[in-house]
Structure 1
Amino acid sequence: MEYQFSNAVLNSREQSFKVDGKRVVLEERAFKLLAYLIDTHPKVCTQDELVAFLWPDSVVSSWSLPRLISDTRSLLRRIGVKHDLIFTVRGQGYKFNPEVKVHCPQATNAVQIQLAMLKAEHHSDGAHLKFWIGVTLVMCCACIWLIINHAFVHEQNVSFKASEPTDAKGRILWVDDNPKNNIKEQGYFLKQKIGIYNTTSTQEALLLLSMYDYTVVISDMGRSGEPLAGLKLLRAMRAAGDDTPFYVYTWVESKKQQEVILSAGGQGVATKKQDLYDYVLLHFDDEKI
């Protein structure tokens, strides 16, 4: 399903968002928020409804949704969307603001073909009743297709994953093309009430850093066939004026690697879980938050 509004286009099946014809990356929950508000437009969605949809089977703090709304609004302004898309209905919740044009090329084409065939039949003797029965069946099929497509879209996954506990102290952006390798470590930080945001590429990491605030960045050194991907990410961050604390988490211990990361403006390299915990928790001192 493709939605056009303001100077933007959201395609829920392709999980894409474009502004003035240029594709931009949205964080997963921001994309799901917009898609849900559009799908339910012009209904007003309550905070409880949105929290249940965006954080299923999770307990989140009362400010998680307002912060997501605020972050999404700021992001949309920065990427050039001309109108405010999320409208606050005081005391009730939120709804999608502008008129939305819905395009469904597959269903539209199927309906047009079937109608053309049925119209041809209409010219034969005694086909009047058959014509209208056919029209009804075609419209029912189109509605069923839309329902199936809607359900399919909301089950899709994208590369960026996030998890934030109730009363989170801050956020870690974790860059690794094999995030499953860090499940235990991330579980530890979640227990310390630290939000974890996973992404798999340098490009996405830099985009996310330009849009959101993170307390610490943790990166692998090599990924996707690039042995110095972590170092290149660090250098790109510092060149952009981003001084977010940066740690490399890798399997191979090397004194030279540590020196290179420190000289590039990073805070250190960890090869053991406990070392990583000790380094990162220094930036989440309760007295500093």
Structure 2
Amino acid sequence: MVFHPPVQIVAKAGDAGKYKVGLPAWNMIMRGFMSGAYIAMGAGLATVTSTGVADFLGPGFAALVRGAVFPVGLIITILTGAELFTGDAMLAPMAAFIHKISWMQVLNLWVWVYIGNFIGSVVYAYIMAYGPYTSWDAAGAVTVNAFGMTALGIAKGKVSYVGGAAMWSLFLKAIGCNWLVNLAVLLGICADDAVGKFFGIWFPIMAFVSSGLEHSIANMMFIPAGIFVNGLLGPEHASYVANLSWVTMWTNNVILVTIGNIVGGLLFVGVIYWVAFRKEIAALK
């Protein structure tokens, strides 16, 4: 396995960011759509495989199961060239530091990829909610199964951040999440072969999910899936969650998580690694 030294990893991250900001908007949206769906695939798998685990093995092991399977989304994203906003929160600024591209180009990439990620995540959330999370009889009556109830519970928890202390906790979880996600991106860059990339990506992503941190794009699947399931239950159902909506998705979670993810990727990985290796990077030119 070919292993690139740290300075080359940082330089390659800047090169990747420069390439990404040069894509046309339609391509950013398309690649963002793909990555949003891929991250949602990992989220859906994590929901299904962790269902019922806590009842027998405890909440820690259930968290480990979720973390063990969730990385499939970022692995597919990186190996197939899709675009993920949270990775671009580090890669695009790294390009600005190294190649002196404009910050308007960085923002342009972020906006279009974010939109694409959202669309892809919601589309796959709908597939899961009306597919594996439910059962339908011949008359068209729906029953939300155990997987769907797990999805509802996850979504309920993610819109439960109310008040200053809770929001601060959410913000910190978002920072920690994208710190790990972008370390996974760098480890994916450090290897040239698929196996090396797989393991480099897998461990940090497993760590963030198992630790209970918050990822804006993953939440664009977790929360909409819960919203769809909640709608199928209806307000007359005992498990119906009254404050679970498209509004609370943003106000109680995704907006602040997005900001925290930017801080985690841009500051704790992008800026720190640029400052640490800028002299060595200059020597490579």
Settle same-fold status: TM greater than 0.5. Answer: no
More strand by share: 1
TM-score per shorter chain, which class?
A: under 0.3
More helix by share: 2
Larger Rg: 1
TM-score, structure 2 length as denominator?
0.21
Q: Which has the higher contact order (CA 8 A, sep 6+)?
A: 2
